[in-house]
Structure 1
Amino acid sequence: MKGVIFNVLEDMVISQCGMQTWNDILDEQVSGTGVYTASESYPDEELFGLVESVADKLEMPMADVISTFGTYMFHQLAARYPVFLNQSDNLRDFLISVGSVIHIEVQKLYDNPNLPTFSYDTIRDDQLIMRYKSPRKLCVLAEGLMRGASEYYKTPIEIDHPVCMHKGSDHCDLVVRFDHG
């Protein structure tokens, strides 16, 4: 996992719970310094351990922490890399651009970012089915990122998750319904 993800997690914990909580989590989980360089890669297990500690400290289910982190991460990445948002003027187009535009640009910025893949069913204007595949199985994080994008684009959505890798499938179907009011 790229260091930028660790940096965003640190920002979230410090802004929500304070520096002492972050330091406590690092003391429990990290064998190194706990300093992460945005472009460097770190073991996935290290991030998962940190998130697990956050969930324990906040007494929240892990899935809730991951989803909340995804929403927070979207806003942080949008502030750091606004060029990615200039590609689309609406949420639906933005979501469709994730695999073919944004992930291509991320690969230019970072060496071997190990990104998930997406394919899309765009038959209905009021619905988008995003087929998510990743060995990390971070579909809940993807949902949080989509909620963050929904807030950014001021477009209410509902997300259903009828097919999931955590239930034995080889992919997840994230069904996004757009509320056009």
Structure 2
Amino acid sequence: MLGIIFTELAEYSIDKVGLEQWNRALAELQLSSHGAYTTGQRYNDDEAMRVFGWLHATTGQTVRGLLNEFGCRLFDTLRQRTLNNYMVDTDFANFLKHIDKTTHDKVRSYFPGSSPPNFQVLDTEGGLVMHYQSDRRLCFLAEGLIEASAEFYKKNITLNHTICMHEGADHCEIIVLIDD
């Protein structure tokens, strides 16, 4: 995963539990990076999963809830650093339909060997259907990103996660109902 995700994860963790507890976590988890992240670097996915597991054990919040909350927070960072120009020229539905091409294709070209998730977004009655596939299985983080993008566009949405990789499927299907 890219360092921009990890730098935000470290800040999120500090905000959740405080700097003192985060420093204890770094010693306890013995992360190969030692928690020193830079935005342009790549880091081992396992490191993020260990941090989320630690946050779960420390806060009692579910990993799903933590990932969703982190996704909501991460959206603002990604928007400010990479998406702002694109986002002002589109609407919520088009943003979701084209996010794979506008950002993930760039990530793949700038960072050969990287593996961002794959999205396919189709129109459906009253909204969109998103097919999500990733070896990382971070669909709950994707839910948070979707929720935060809807908030940015001032859209009320309802998410229905009908198929999930965490239940043995090869992809996730997230229905995004848009209330106009």
For structure 1, the 5+ residue unaligned runs are: none
Amino acid in the other structure paired with 1:6: F
Q: Does the aligned pair in 2 maintain the 1:3–1:40 contact within 8 Å?
A: yes
Distance change in 2, residues 1:156/1:46 (3 Å) = same
Q: What is the CA deviation profile of residues 127-174 of structure 1, one whole-angstrom value per residue up to 9, with x for unaligned ones?
A: 100111111111111111111111211111110011111112111111
The corresponding residue for 2:160 is: 160
User: What is the aligned length?
Assistant: 179
- Output the CA distance in 2 between the equivalents of 1:18 and 1:111: 35
**CA shift for structure 1 position 84:** 5.6
**Structure 1 consecutive aligned stretches of length 4 or more whose deviation exceeds 4 Å:** none
The corresponding residue for 1:131 is: 131
- The alignment's TM-score, normalised by the length of structure 1, stands at 0.90
For structure 2, the 5+ residue unaligned runs are: none
SS in 2 for 1:76: helix
SS in 2 for 1:122: strand
**CA shift for structure 1 position 57:** 1.6
Q: Does the aligned pair in 1 maintain the 2:87–2:95 contact within 8 Å?
A: no
The corresponding residue for 1:76 is: 77
Q: Does the aligned pair in 2 maintain the 1:84–1:102 contact within 8 Å?
A: no
**CA shift for structure 1 position 43:** 1.4
Matches within 5 A, 1:37-52: 37-52=38-53
- Pairing 1:149–2:149 present: yes
Amino acid in the other structure paired with 1:19: L
Matches within 5 A, 1:3-14: 3-14=3-14
- The alignment's TM-score, normalised by the length of structure 2, stands at 0.90
Amino acid in the other structure paired with 1:148: A
Q: Does the aligned pair in 1 maintain the 2:162–2:174 contact within 8 Å?
A: yes
Distance change in 2, residues 1:165/1:35 (3 Å) = same
- Output the CA distance in 2 between the equivalents of 1:177 and 1:81: 26
RMSD over aligned CA atoms reads 1.8
Which is further off, 155-164 or 17-26? 17-26
- Output the CA distance in 2 between the equivalents of 1:87 and 1:113: 27
**CA shift for structure 1 position 74:** 0.6
Which is further off, 36-45 or 47-56? 36-45
Q: What is the CA deviation profile of residues 84-103 of structure 1, one whole-angstrom value per residue up to 9, with x for unaligned ones?
A: 64364311111111112221
The corresponding residue for 2:54 is: 53
The corresponding residue for 1:17 is: 17
Q: Does the aligned pair in 1 maintain the 2:71–2:141 contact within 8 Å?
A: yes
